[in-house]
Amino acid sequence: MALLVKKFGGTSVGDIKKIKNIASSILQSKEAGNEIVVVVSAMGQTTDDLNCLAESISKNPNRRELDMLLSTGEQVTIALLSMALNEYGIPAISMTGSQVGIITESIHGKARILDIKTERIQNYINQGFVVVVAGFQGTTLSHTGSMEITTLGRGGSDTSAVALSTALGAETCEIYTDVPGVLTTDPRIVPKAKLLDEISCEEMLELASVGASVLHPRAVEIARNYGIKLCVKSSQSDSSGTLLESQIQPLPLKRGILELTKTVNSLEVLENQAVFSLSNIPDRPGIAAQIFEKLSEASINVDLIIQATNDGNNNDITFTVSELEVKKTEEQCELITSQLGGEYNLKTNMTKLSIQGAGIMGRPSVSADLFDTLSQANINVRLIATSEIKVSCVIEINNIPKAIRFVAEKFKLSDTQIFVNPIIEKQELPEVRGIALDKNQVQVSFRKLPDRPGVAASICLALAENNLLFDTIVQSERISSSKNKDISFTMNKQDREKANLVFDALTKKLPGSYIEDGPAISKVSTVGAGMAFKVGTAGKIFRALAEQNINIEMIATSEIRTSCIVLEKDSDKAVNAIHDHFELDK
């Protein structure tokens, strides 16, 4: 007998007919011998409608009262579904988050789950009941010690379902939704986009702009941390959907911190890295492809790749390789610069330091905190590359002990969360799983910044303090004017308009520097867990773009993701080109 947690989203419980259908599908699953806990969302657009009601009274409604209001949406669904199950002769009982004992932080509107009491639910399961739980809500003790209703944030019932699965030790958590599962990319851009049979939690998080609409990222993170088998499928069809699996060793469930309240989950240090910087190479489609194909032909596995915005007609491209590959790489760089012009520069004794965690997503203050911490330790940051759930930078090797101490302390990481030169098993994973596209972004560069500790930090802190979201930060190496450096990043268009005051203040504080606005751009992120082990994936991505004559404005990579910033007008073409090149529809 298996215990299954099944979650049905808003559209799947949108009307009475659908609720009855769900009840009948639960009947089948129950007759097949399963024990079942159901988690449901509010019917259809109910949560939006409730928000509108609140807004029609107040622009800034009291957070407690708003949670009181929003939590009613799910309460309607649990009662109706329970009744429907009863009509089919299934013993069923509905429970709110408070009745179950879904204990959250004392924050209204975006509370994280700390613990879930399982006694009462387990009791009903043992008696043969289907338990129907309200998603998206929990309970907390206020500072006066009285019980309060909290909500988890929009889309939060996925999180309720996965957290419940963890607490109950369920065999699988099935998320039923109105799409067939997770696709290789957005089907509105690539009609051939294909349903994925499986994807790792890490890949899903990096594909945020494709994946977040399918599954709440916090739910993915819980599944990842505790090794929950998570399945996303359509409530309308019998197709098997997409299976999400964690790639990490599951953590033991610690009561009271179920949804780790930390933004950063781990610190990783990779020593013995060499940084190669190519500078003054031509800026035109095909150059990046040519370079990384050469390196791949020589079997050189490149780790980070960073290309900042071009300076006139020239580009700088920087990448890291293991120190074991320095000789081979030097030979290739000689060749490349003799053919393309420009020069290269090599730095050995470098180390890559990365912080990781789903909480980094959408929180620019985390990268700001990292750079600030390193600057307080008086450590100069050489390279920066960010992805959705990871911030990496390259620093000199002799700074490492100090860096680990400062960063671990800042993000409150224990020894078990710090990995120095981790040995990662090579697995047969696809080098490309899917492609995410972020539109509506602009590119901004700080030029001629003084090269000293704290500069990146001061920029990121100023933006974060003003609640301006920035993304893909790239800091490249420059040989010609080694006293200066450039930092480029992308931000969404609306935030760029609001950023003028902050930028003015910053350029005043950093004499000689100035801001350069780039064109409207999009970020095309190619994600695949196998990318870390395969030689040449980046070269293939760049080739796919070059074949369509698409120029790459910026590049930033992490182990399992390669992001290319391209002109907005090229973005759909770019996604299609990469999708075709890797034959993701096959």
| CA 258 to chain centroid | 19
**Closer residue to ligand ASP, CB minimum distance, 154 or 347:** 154
Interaction of residue 12 with ligand ASP, rule CB under 6 A: no
Q: CA dist 54 to 51, 64, 72, 114, 420, Å?
A: 5, 12, 13, 28, 50
The nearer residue to Mg ion, 153 or 453, going by C-beta atoms, is 153
Would you count residue 66 as binding ligand ASP (CB under 6 A)? no
DSSP 8-state code for residue 552: E
**Angle, alpha carbons 230-76-168 (nearest 5°):** 35
Query: Which amino acid, 584?
Result: L
- What number of residues does the chain have? 586
Among ligand ASP, Mg ion, none, what does residue 364 contact (CB within 5–8 Å per kind)? none
Binding part of the chain for Mg ion, among 5-13, 200-208, 239-247, 417-425 by CB under 5 A, reads 5-13
d(CA 9, CA 22): 11
- CA–CA distance, 385 with 354 (Å, rounded to integer): 9
The stretch among 106-114, 156-164, 341-349, 445-453 that binds ligand ASP (CB under 6 A) is 156-164
Considering just the CA atoms, what is the radius of gyration of the chain in Å?
25
- Cβ 154 to ligand ASP, closest distance in Å? 4
Tokens standing for residue 235: 């409530």
Which partner in Mg ion, ligand ASP, none is near 42 (CB below 5 to 8 A by kind)? Answer: ligand ASP
Task: Compute the least distance from the CB of residue 222 to Mg ion, in Å.
Answer: 15
Q: How far is the CB of 175 from Mg ion (least distance, A)?
A: 9
Q: Does 156 bind Mg ion (CB under 5 A)?
A: no
Which residue of 4, 5, 10, 100 would you call a contact of ligand ASP, by CB under 6 A? Answer: 10
- Angle, helix 63-87 to helix 46-55, in steps of 10 degrees: 150
Please tell me whether residue 154 binds ligand ASP under the rule CB under 6 A: yes
Out of 14, 97, 135, 155, the residue judged to bind Mg ion by CB under 5 A? 155
**Exposure string for 341-357, b = 16+ CB within 10 A, e = fewer:** ebebbebeebbbbbbbb
Q: Give the residue, chosen from 47, 96, 354, 375, that forms a contact with ligand ASP under the rule CB under 6 A.
A: 47
In the list ligand ASP, Mg ion, none, the entry touching 351 (Cβ below 5 to 8 angstroms by class) is none
Only one of the segments 151-159, 173-181, 222-230, 461-469 lies at the binding site for ligand ASP (rule: CB under 6 A); that segment is 151-159
Tell which one of 11, 94, 96, 157 touches ligand ASP (CB under 6 A). Answer: 157
3-state SS, residue 48:
helix
Applying CB under 6 A, which part among 26-34, 150-158, 410-418, 514-522 lies near ligand ASP?
150-158
User: What is the token pair recorded at 377?
Assistant: 């330790």
Q: For Mg ion, which is the closer residue by CB, 44 or 536?
A: 44
Query: Phi, psi at residue 210, to the nearest 5°?
Result: -90, -45
Whole-angstrom Cα distance, residue 499 to residue 124? 55
- If the CB atoms of residues 120 and 154 are measured against ligand ASP, the closer one turns out to be 154
- Residue closer to ligand ASP, measured from CB, 75 or 337: 75
Return all residues near 94 (Cβ < 8 A) that are at least 6 apart: 78, 79, 81, 82, 132, 133, 134
Query: In a 3-state reduction of DSSP, which class is residue 522?
Result: strand
Task: For CA atoms 504, 507, 511, 516, give the dihedral sign.
Answer: negative
Under the binding rule (CB under 6 A), the answer on residue 9 touching ligand ASP is yes
Closest CA to 253 of 136, 178, 167: 167
* Structure tokens given for 150: 């909290």
136 binds ligand ASP (CB under 6 A): yes
For the bound state, the minimum distance from the C-beta of residue 259 to ligand ASP, rounded and expressed in Å, comes to 15
136 binds, among Mg ion, ligand ASP, none (CB under 5 to 8 A by kind): ligand ASP
- CA distances (Å), origin 550, targets 194, 328, 334, 357, 537: 24, 29, 26, 32, 18
Q: Please report whether residue 155 would count as binding ligand ASP according to CB under 6 A.
A: yes
Of residues 4, 5, 7, 9, which one binds Mg ion by CB under 5 A?
Answer: 9
Query: Shortest Cβ distance from residue 165 to Mg ion (Å)?
Result: 16
Residue 41 touching ligand ASP (CB under 6 A): yes
Residue 73 binds ligand ASP, judged by CB under 6 A = yes
Helix %, strand %, coil % for the chain, to 5?
A: 35, 30, 35
Smaller CB distance to Mg ion: residue 10 or 454? Answer: 10
Give the DSSP letter of residue 274: E
- Specify the residue, 41 or 356, whose C-beta has the smaller distance to ligand ASP: 41
Q: Which is nearer to ligand ASP, 47 or 332 (CB)?
A: 47
Question: How far, in Å, CA of 375 to CA of 354, rounded?
Answer: 15
- Select 47 or 354, whichever has its Cβ closest to ligand ASP: 47
Q: Is 18 in the site for ligand ASP (CB under 6 A)?
A: no
Minimal distance, residue 359 CB to ligand ASP, in Å:
19
Instruction: Give the residue with the Cβ less far from ligand ASP, 71 or 265.
Output: 71
Q: What is the rounded distance in angstroms from the CA atom of residue 520 to the CA atom of residue 171? A: 46
Question: What sign has the CA pseudo-torsion 524, 525, 530, 532?
Answer: positive
Q: Is 402 among the residues that bind ligand ASP (CB under 6 A)?
A: no
Its sign, for the CA torsion 41, 45, 50, 54, is positive
Q: Which residues bind Mg ion (CB under 5 A)?
A: 9, 155
Q: Which residues bind ligand ASP (CB under 6 A)?
A: 9-10, 41-42, 47, 73, 135-136, 154-158
